[in-house]
Amino acid sequence: MASGKGEGYHLRLAGLEIDSKLLLKFAEAFKAFNLDVRPVEMQPPDTAHERAITACVLPLNQSAVSSLRRSAWFLPRRTLIYGIGDWNEAARFGDIGINALLESTTDLSFRAAVFATRSVIARGIGVYARVPMVTDVRIKAEGMAAKGITINVGQGGMAVKLSRSVSLPEEISLDFSLPGVRHVSLNACPRWYSGPLVGLRFQPSKSEKILKKWIGAYSRLGKHD
């Protein structure tokens, strides 16, 4: 997907159940990464021209998510989803494919969400890319257990935000689900830390084929015809 720089592309960002000023503020965060965004405040019912929407920001509550699911322009695995809420709400609505979680509506949270998805917007997703995706993950090792949420998931590893900063053992087991994949269980090892963030590399397993197929399904994330 092009950034729009020199190619006439504009990402159309929908806002569901959020204040128009907040939508504009979120759209401004994209400009810091040289991404051209046109905010669209959605009003039901949908209209035909709104089928070109490529991203949506919404609070993670039943009303907003239900509106999203009913929207003709919402295309699972193609529409970028920015969810405003906490970890529990993200887990509750994980099936919609939340690409970035905004735990607050501050400038810092907005920039972090755009940063997490910028590579998809600029370059798209390849076989060895990481899909920005928020899902809960359970981490286990001998004598310890931890919880976290994913920032991105790829065929060879993932970035995870832990519920608390902790050093993980050299080998851990992971259990998580993904939109369209009920359960993934595999082993991994930590490769880097940045505060509560940790980068994990997967150990070779049968899940590689599952993850490769899942990544392929997201190859058109953030694109429209």
- Indicate if the alpha-carbon torsion angle 111, 168, 166, 162 is positive or negative: positive
CATH superfamily of 134-217: predicted glycosyltransferase like domains (2.40.10.220)
pLDDT at residue number 6: 35
Q: What is the pTM of this model?
A: 0.90
Architecture of domain 11-123: 3-Layer(aba) Sandwich (3.40)
pLDDT band for 143, please (50, 70, 90 cuts). confident
* Same fold yes or no, 11-123 and 134-217: no
Cα separation, 82 vs 85, in Å, equals 10
Domain spans of the chain?
11-123, 134-217
pLDDT at residue number 48: 45
pLDDT at residue number 225: 60
Q: Over range 50-77, report the average pLDDT.
A: 91
Per-residue pLDDT tens digits for 164-204: 888 899 999 999 999 999 899 999 999 999 999 999 999 99
